[in-house]
Amino acid sequence: MTLTVYNSRTRQLEPLEPERDSIITMYVCGVTVYDFCHLGHARTYVVWDVVRRYLEHLEYDVHHVQNITDIDDKILKKAQAENVEMGHITEQYIKAYNEDMTRLNILPAQQYPRATESISDMIQLIQSLESLGYAYAVAGDVYYAVERFPRYGNLSHRNLEQMQSGASGRVDKEAKIKRHPLDFALWKSAKPGEPAWDSPWGPGRPGWHIECSAMVHKTLGASIDIHAGGSDLIFPHHENEIAQSEPITQKPLARYWLHNGFVTVDGEKMSKSLGNFRTIRDVLNHYEPMALRLLILQSHYRQPIECTPTALNAAQSGWQTLQQGAGVYDLQELATLNKTDCDPEILAQFEHGMDADFNTPIALAILFGLAKKLKRIDHKQYYSDKTHIPEGSYQLWQTFVYLAQNVLGLKFTPPAPITATTIDEDRATIQLFSDEIQELIRRRQQARQTKNYREADRIRQELTEKGFQIIDQPNGETLIVEQTR
């Protein structure tokens, strides 16, 4: 089976056929940096991360670019409210964005172009549109003339009349100067005190939509394979991007337009402006990052999801099941896993699911099936003596860990090890454990000192049953690993 994707432009599932055989160019619309990211952003970027990982699993070389909108009305408003420079706000929230994404194990894009660093590209594009008659300047502002572009509305499957009647009730401050109510700003003249850049139309700043058209061209070229983002971007943002690019390049801006569904709250889009949001960092104070990632991937990316406490709790326990299946103690071994290590039949089932427009719920159902089998293996024994995993199960384990971790980005972590040297020398460490465990550790240490290895082994077994793995290291130290799951 070949990979099929749902293209918003045709509203159909289509086989993904990139322009070049082995390369896929992919542009994802990035965040406007004026606040902490919420669960809607987490969903969007986890979804496109899995798409990228799966394409890489299929051995495409993915050129992934994601912009940063660091000039915008909302940013300016926040900077004014806090009486700081705009750059102060943007740097703060870019840093926060990166921290959140790292915790969610999202692979960084190859490039993060910033709007403020691409102003000259935008000016050039606006000039080209103006010279071809697609744009007009009015007193320092420049607008796009939607009536000039007959395909305007093709992506969102609406025509100008429908859109106009939908918009007719709106009071539009710019209505008097615009030739058509749906014309949108490419360049906005500067208001006093606002950051501004010189341009042929006087000092000002770019509109939001032109930013992505210019940055796609600049980083990936005139026509790309995949353009992605949340479904709120279909109209007007992506519609406008097409209108700004295609008259100039005479090529489709993107061959495939992919959009993810919303994180909703009582059926409404979670958003900063509605005030119904929960930040990623707040959620990660209570749940493991991979539980949130799992929750997102348990629904198909185009469906809406609600991240209720019940759903988050269920995901947390689902994540524990997967962790138990992996039984991870040796991170080094995980790093070397590869698709050639996988069981071919399970791999084929997994790919069959993912090939159907990235059906992660099917992929996860396969992984949960594997986790249930693998949970029965004594992973702790395996850690100290690799022969304990039976031949057949070892490949299941490799398949499971590779698909979960490398393709779905569900990163396994070993339980935090607590190192104790000797009981007497490092009482503070031992005191981290309950009295009962401290007593067992002490008795085992005494047994070893009197060379009563049988008794020492018996106590080790008792500790193992209580969830503590005892590893005597060659240098004489003892590593105590608490089994937290």
- The nearer residue to ligand ATP, 37 or 125, going by C-beta atoms, is 37
Give the shortest CB-187-to-ligand ATP separation in angstroms: 20
Dihedral sign, Cα of residue 225, residue 363, residue 379, residue 413: positive
What residues numbered 7-46 form the site for Zn ion, per CB under 5 A?
29
Out of 113, 153, 207, 230, the only residue in the binding site for ligand ATP (CB under 6 A) is 230
State the binding partner of 409 from ligand ATP, Zn ion, none, CB within 5 to 8 A by kind.
none
Contact 47, 54 (CB under 8 A): no
Contact yes or no for 40/77 (Cβ under 8 A)? no
Residue 44 contact partner, candidates ligand ATP, Zn ion, none, CB within 5 to 8 A by sort of partner: ligand ATP
307 is in an annotated binding site: no
- Is 272 annotated as ligand-binding? yes
Least Å from the CB of residue 249 to ligand ATP: 23
Q: Counting contacts by CB under 6 A, is residue 279 touching ligand ATP?
A: no
Figure out which of the listed residues 24, 31, 76, 404 binds ligand ATP, where binding follows CB under 6 A. Answer: 31
Which of ligand ATP, Zn ion, none is residue 294 near (CB under 5 to 8 Å by kind)?
A: none
Q: Which of residues 32-71 bind ligand ATP (CB under 6 A)?
A: 32, 40-41, 43-44
Instruction: Single out the residue of 27, 97, 134, 262 in contact with ligand ATP (rule: CB under 6 A).
Output: 262
Query: Is 157 marked as a binding-site residue?
Result: no
375 is in an annotated binding site: no
For ligand ATP, the closer of residues 232 and 343 by Cβ is 232
Shortest Cβ distance from residue 60 to Zn ion (Å)?
A: 22
Which region, judged by CB under 6 A, interacts with ligand ATP, from 268-276, 337-345, 367-375, 452-460? 268-276
Residue with smaller CB distance to ligand ATP, 96 or 137: 96
CA–CA dist 281, 103 (Å, integer): 9
What pairs with residue 143 in β-bridges?
136, 185
230 binds, among Zn ion, ligand ATP, none (CB under 5 to 8 A by kind): ligand ATP
Q: Which stretch binds ligand ATP (CB under 6 A): 14-22, 26-34, 117-125, 348-356?
A: 26-34
Residue 342 known to bind ligand:
no
In the bound complex, what is the minimum distance in angstroms from residue 31's beta carbon to Zn ion?
Answer: 10
The most distant pair of C-alpha atoms in the chain lies apart, rounded to whole Å, by: 94
Q: Which of 123, 155, 212, 296 binds Zn ion (CB under 5 A)?
A: 212
Partner from ligand ATP, Zn ion, none contacting 31, C-beta within 5 to 8 A by type:
ligand ATP
| CB 237, min distance to Zn ion, A | 6
Q: How far is it, in rounded angstroms, from Cα 472 to Cα 61?
A: 44
* Among residues 62, 270, 389, 430, the one that binds ligand ATP under rule CB under 6 A: 270
Q: What span, in angstroms and rounded, lies between the C-alpha atoms of 377 and 414?
A: 16
In 3D space, the residue among 464, 466, 413 whose CA is nearest the CA of residue 436 turns out to be: 466
* Least distance in angstroms from the C-beta of 304 to ligand ATP: 8
Q: Which does 255 bind (CB under 5 to 8 A by kind): ligand ATP, Zn ion, none?
A: none
Residues that bind Zn ion (CB under 5 A): 29, 212
Query: Where does this chain bind ligand ATP (CB under 6 A)?
Result: 29, 31-32, 40-41, 43-44, 229-230, 232-233, 262-263, 269-273
Binding residues for ATP, as ranges, are 272
Binding residues: 29, 212, 237, 241, 272
Binding-site residues from annotation for Zn(2+): 29, 212, 237, 241
